[in-house]
Amino acid sequence: MIPDPLFDFRGKVVVVIGGSRGLGRQMALAFAERGANLVIASRKLVACEEVAQECRTTGGKAMAYSMHAGSWPDCDALLDAVYTEFGRIDILINNAGMSPASPSHKVEEAMFDAVLNLNLKGPFRLASQAAWRMSQRDGGCIINVSSSGALMPLPTAVPYGAAKAALNAMTVSLAAEYGPKVRVNTISPGPFLTDIAKAWTPEMRKSAPNAAERPGSPEEIVTAALMLASPASTFTTGALVRVDGGLR
């Protein structure tokens, strides 16, 4: 089947950080179904390989890679491995994250650092290094996955909301720095029924304080990612797309 020309990713190399589950997995499969070659990166290699195998069933190539997305040496090693295997990166999706809840006065330094490393420090390293490499060749697209917690900060999640707010600012800065050849955008998800929802109450899994009156299903993230990465979206950069059901 020939993909819609607006969403034709045949031959493109797409790297999905945090691609072994949840929103990352859904985005990876969506790009694979539209002809892309995928790199699935996360901490658990077995889980990455499972998603990579799903991607291969569409006919493209897929590579599984184990890494800590908050570690700069791991980020650099991933980029080197992808360029060795595929020779380039066309689309990078920074999707790793963690959001432990804790009263602010009880947050320990180690936890603060871990949250900032995974939600900001690592994504900065990946995005900046990938953008530089892209800019030296044919360009590319970077999508940073943020959170509604950056726009509507919540109590007991201060380090997370602060890190994601900084990620939003980083997107705008990198779009200006590496444009016009490299586009950098943000997706800001709201509540989604991913693994984290297992800890929610039954009511939280059924309803949400948004216009849609419910949490999202993971597959509902797909169209935002495809749109921002589309070759038809060449005039969209430095943007933030809310996918939160109209949170208020």
pTM for this prediction: 0.95
User: Coil, strand or helix: which one is 140?
Assistant: strand
Tally of structural domains, the chain: 1
Q: Cβ(133)–Cβ(127) under 8 Å? A: no
**Tokens 């989604």 sit at which residue?**
192
pLDDT band at 23, cuts 50/70/90? very high
Structure tokens at 27: 């985005």
| Residue 79 belongs to domain with CATH number | 3.40.50.720
Distance CA 189, CA 245 (A): 9
Residue 83 falls in the annotated catalytic set: no
pLDDT single digits (tens) 117-137:
999 999 999 999 999 999 999
Residue 88 falls inside a structural domain? yes
Amino acid at 79: L
Residue 128 falls inside a structural domain? yes
Distance CA 13, CA 28 (A): 11
> Catalytic pick from 65, 83, 160, 178?
160
Residue 47 falls inside a structural domain? yes
Are β-strands 62-66 and 91-94 bridged in parallel, bridged antiparallel, or unpaired?
A: unpaired
Q: 162 is in which domain, residue-wise? A: 6-101+108-243
Residue 139 falls inside a structural domain? yes
Residue 248 falls inside a structural domain? no
Residue 80 falls inside a structural domain? yes
Distance CA 89, CA 92 (A): 7
pLDDT single digits (tens) 188-246:
999 998 877 677 788 888 889 999 999 999 999 999 999 999 999 999 999 999 999 99
Among 180, 82, 172, 160, CA closest to 117 = 160
**Tokens 């060749």 sit at which residue?**
137
Asked if the model's pLDDT at residue 56 lies above 70, the reply is yes
Residue 219 has a pLDDT of 94
